Amino acid sequence: MKPRTRDERHAMRDKERLERDRLSNRTGSYHRYEPVKDPTAVAPNCPSYAKPVDRFVTTEDVAAIEHKERAQDYSKVMEKHEGRRQARYKREEDRWAALDAKERAEQMRLDRLQADPICGRKNVGGAPFNIVSQAYEPTAAGQKLKHHDDMVKFRGELRSMNLAARNHLGFNPITGEQVYPIKIPERPQAPASTSIIG
Q: Report the predicted TM-score, pTM, of the whole model to 2 decimal places.
A: 0.35
Look at residues 195, 198, 190 and name the one whose alpha carbon lies nearest to residue 146: 190
Its sign, for the CA torsion 124, 126, 130, 132, is negative
The pLDDT assigned to 197 comes to: 46
10-35 tens-digit pLDDT:
777 778 877 877 777 777 777 766 77
Q: Is the pLDDT of residue 44 over 50?
A: yes
- What H or E segment, with its residue span, contains residue 172? strand 171-172
Q: What percent of the chain has pLDDT over 90?
A: 27
The whole-number pLDDT of residue 170 equals 73
Tell me the C-alpha to C-alpha distance, in Å, between residue 9 and each of 4, 12, 54, 108, 184: 6, 5, 42, 112, 162
pLDDT digits (tens, 9 = 90+) for 57-84: 666 777 888 899 999 999 999 999 999 9
Q: Which of 41-55, 71-85, 93-107 has the lowest mean pLDDT?
A: 41-55
Q: Is residue 196 scored above 70 in pLDDT?
A: no
**Residue 91 contacts by C-beta under 8 Å, 6 or more apart in sequence?**
none
Please report the pLDDT score of residue 33 as a whole number. 66
Give yes or no for residue 97 having a pLDDT over 90: yes
The pLDDT, as a whole number, for residue 58 is 66
**CA-CA-CA-CA torsion for 11, 12, 18, 20, nearest 10 degrees?**
40
Separation between Cα atoms, residue 27 and residue 179, nearest integer Å: 162
What is the distance, to the nearest Å, from the Cα of residue 27 to the centroid of all Cα atoms in its chain?
83
Contacts with 155 (C-beta within 8 Å, 6 or more apart), sequence order: 198
| pLDDT tens string 118-164 | 765 666 677 888 888 889 888 888 899 999 999 999 999 889 888 87
